[in-house]
Structure 1
Amino acid sequence: MPLPSAPLRKLGFLTIGLFDQDNPGRGHESTLDIIELGERLGFDSAWVRHRHLQYGISSPVAVLAAASQRTRRIELGTAVIPVGWENPLRLAEDLATVDILSAGRLNPGVSVGPPMHYEQVKHALYPDTADAEDFGYERVERLLDFVRGKSATDFSGVEGFEVFSDRVQPHSPGLGRRMWYGGGSLRSAQWAGEHGMNFLTSSVVKAEESEDFAEVQLSHVRAFRAHHPDGDRARVSQGLVVIPTDSASPEQRAKYEEYARKRMPRTATPQGPARMMFAPDLVGTSDQIAERLYSHVAFREIDEVAFALPFTFDHDDYVQILTDIATGLGPALGWRPSA
């Protein structure tokens, strides 16, 4: 197995937080338990996905507020909040509040674009302004401005017994440097760099200049850093699906291999009008997965990851996978758990 040129610096994981519609509390508790386990295992970060009108986490900020009170060290991130569903000012208030509650551990990831199935949901989401809403980058710029402390109003001071601020409160000074953009195209990578954000790149990219997933992802990483004030030091996190089987039972290994087999066809060619490319799920022993990662040209450009947990597995499967990542795969990549 080839040796890394530099050890993996930060190891994180990402979960969708699925739940049963008839018993949603159990699924949310499972997600919080998994985050607590991640902290005990020494992971550097835990990330939650965002799903509206589905049976997954619809309010990641609320879930991470709860997680902030059950953990003390692990960083907490969103991957990602689609801001088309959000009012940037209100979201800035929520993010700052959770960052304060977590003592500066929040890492909000966001993305742009119209809400999924917008034609069907727009009258419920924006009944008076559906056709006037802007779902482009300007919406994230507004969020960044509010998080970073720019004025939200031209009024401040005392009115009667109440004191008013002209910027979002609470203000968390370090939060602006921990804002992430989740992108899968060259344009989004460049935009994130130009606006001083960090960059989340996942197992999905747009096949623009190539049909080789790793080469496309590498071009995004380099474009982001080329346009970021910090250059090669700008933070990039990669989020591939990895499923180590070191301690898995025979039944679990069979389930994992079948899961990856069913998803493999979508990785062969670009999918749909947007020509989206999907990375294969990596299933095997920690050493086998590490070897495949070292052969991945984009992985060799980064030093932090947020490995994605598969969508539909059971709680015990996630415990096994996270334990093997922390005790097997992470060390094979040169990572060492946090104290």
Structure 2
Amino acid sequence: MPPTSRPLRKLGFLTIGLFDGDDPRQGHETTLEIIELGERLGFDSAWVRHRHLQYGISSPVAVLAAASQRTRRIELGTAVIPLGWENPLRLAEDLATVDVLSGGRLNPGVSVGPPMHYDQVKDALYPDTADAEEFGYERVRRLLDLVRGKSASDFSGVEGFEVFSDRVQPHSPGLGRRLWYGGGSVSSAAWAGEHGMNFLTSSVVKAEGPDDTRDFAEIQLSHVRAFRAAHPDGEAARVSQGLVVIPTDSASPEQRAKYEEFAAKRLPRTRSPQGPARLLFAPDLVGTSEEIAERLHAHAAFREVDEVAFALPFTFEHEDYVQILTDTATKLGPALGWRPAVAG
């Protein structure tokens, strides 16, 4: 097995937090239980996806606030909050509050772009300003400035019995260094680096050139390198890779069959760029931990990262997630050179 150029330092996982619309509490409770399990297993981080007007987590900051009170050590991240749905000032307040409650464990990941199905939702989301809203990098820059302590107001001081600050309160000094950008293009990777963010790269990238015949791993590698080339920390800049990884070491025959069927149905989309955006998807990795470790060691982008947040499949059952996370922490992680975090 070829060695990685960077030892795996941090092992995390990502969940979408699905729930039944008729019983939403149970799905949210299950998500919190999975995060608690991750901490017991020694994972370094737990991340939640963000879904609006769907049966997944619509308020990851609220879910992670709850998780912060049921865990002590594990880092808590969002992958990712689409900023087109957010007011950067209000989001900065929420993020700082949860970071304080968690003891400095929050890792907010964000992305840009118009909200999904914007024409259908804009009258509810921005009834007076829909055509004037800006959904590009400027929205991220505003969030960065506010989280990092730049002025949000030209007034501070005492007014009557109330004391006012000119910057977001609470202010959590370390949070500004734990902001992540979720990107799938060279330009987004470079922008994140230039602005001192961390970089989340997932199982989706853009095949940007019309004649781009590189495979997924090569494209993702180019993003990692573009990010670090632009970042003040250079090769030390943080990158986390988020592939769909399903170890089967302790899976039942029925679970293995389900996992293999899931991956097989999604495999055709990995063979060529999809849609006008030319999105290229990574194949899901299903197999024993030894088999998956070998495939990851051969993955060009994996060899240049030392953090991962493996994505749990969307539609599996709770017992499936328990098996996958347990095998990941006890079998796959050690096969990649990772050691579980110490409790406490």
Query: Common fold, TM-score beyond 0.5?
Result: yes
CA distance in structure 2 between the aligned counterparts of 1:64 and 1:6, rounded to whole angstroms:
30
Distance (Å, rounded) in 2 between the aligned partners of 1:203 and 1:249: 26
Kindly state the Cα deviation for residue 2 of structure 1 after the two structures are TM-superposed.
Answer: 2.5
Residue in structure 2 matched with residue 303 of structure 1 by the alignment = 306
How far does residue 6 in structure 1 lie from its aligned partner after superposition? 3.6
The reply to whether residue 123 of structure 1 matches residue 126 of structure 2 is: no
Cα distance in 1 for partners of 2:188, 2:80 equals 14
> How far is 1:4 from its partner?
2.9
- Secondary structure of 1:251's counterpart equals helix
Query: Which TM-score applies when normalising by structure 1?
Result: 0.99
Provide the secondary structure at the position in 2 that maps to 1:243.
strand
Please state whether the residue corresponding to 1:163 is helix, strand or coil.
strand
In the TM superposition, 1:138-287 aligns within 5 A as 138-209=138-209, 210-211=212-213, 212-287=215-290
- Contact (CA 8 Å) 2:84, 2:135: kept in 1 or not? yes
Do the aligned partners of 2:157 and 2:164 also contact (CA within 8 Å) in 1?
Answer: yes
Counterparts of 1:328 and 1:207, CA distance in 2: 33
* Contact residue 241 and residue 308 of structure 2 kept, 8 A: yes
Corresponding residue SS for 1:174:
helix
C-alpha distance in 2, partners of 1:8/1:137? 31
TM-superposed CA distance for 1:57, in Å, is 0.1
Distance 1:262 1:2 in 2: 30
1:27 paired to 2:30: no
**1:287 maps to amino acid:** E
Q: Secondary structure at the match of 2:35?
A: helix
Retained in 1: the 8 A contact 2:247–2:332? yes
Alignment of 1:20-59 (within 5 A): 20-59=20-59
Give the residue type in structure 2 aligned to 1:320.
Q
Shift of 1:7: 2.1
Q: Which runs of 5 or more residues in structure 1 are unaligned?
A: none
Q: Give the drift of 1:208.
A: 1.5
Q: Give the structure-2-normalised TM-score.
A: 0.98
For residue 113 of structure 2, what is the aligned residue in structure 1? 113
**Corresponding residue of 1:77:** 77
The separation in 1 between residues aligned to 2:263 and 2:291, in whole angstroms, is 15
CA–CA separation in structure 2 for the residues paired with 1:122 and 1:6: 44
Question: Percent identity at matched positions?
Answer: 86
Q: Report Cα offsets for 1:90-122 as digits up to 9, x if no partner.
A: 000000000000000000000000000000000
Q: Is the 8 A contact 1:113 1:135 kept in 2?
A: yes
Alignment of 1:328 with 2:331, yes or no, is yes
Match status 1:338 vs 2:330: no
- d(CA) in 2 for partners of 1:6, 1:88: 35
Q: Mind listing any 5+ residue stretches in structure 2 that lack a counterpart? A: none
Aligned with residue 318 of structure 1, among 318, 321, 339: 321
1:318 CA displacement: 0.1
Amino acid at match of 2:278: R
Asked if the contact 1:4/1:334 (under 8 Å) is kept, the reply is no
Partner Cα distance (2:44, 2:188) in 1: 26
Partner amino acid, structure 2, of 1:228: H
Structure 2: which amino acid aligns with 1:29? Answer: E
Instruction: Give yes or no for contact 1:208–1:216 (8 Å, CA) kept in 2.
Output: no
- 8 Å CA contact 2:193–2:227 kept in 1: the answer is yes
Q: Deviations over 1:235-284 (max 9, x none)?
A: 00000000000000000000000000000000000000000000000000
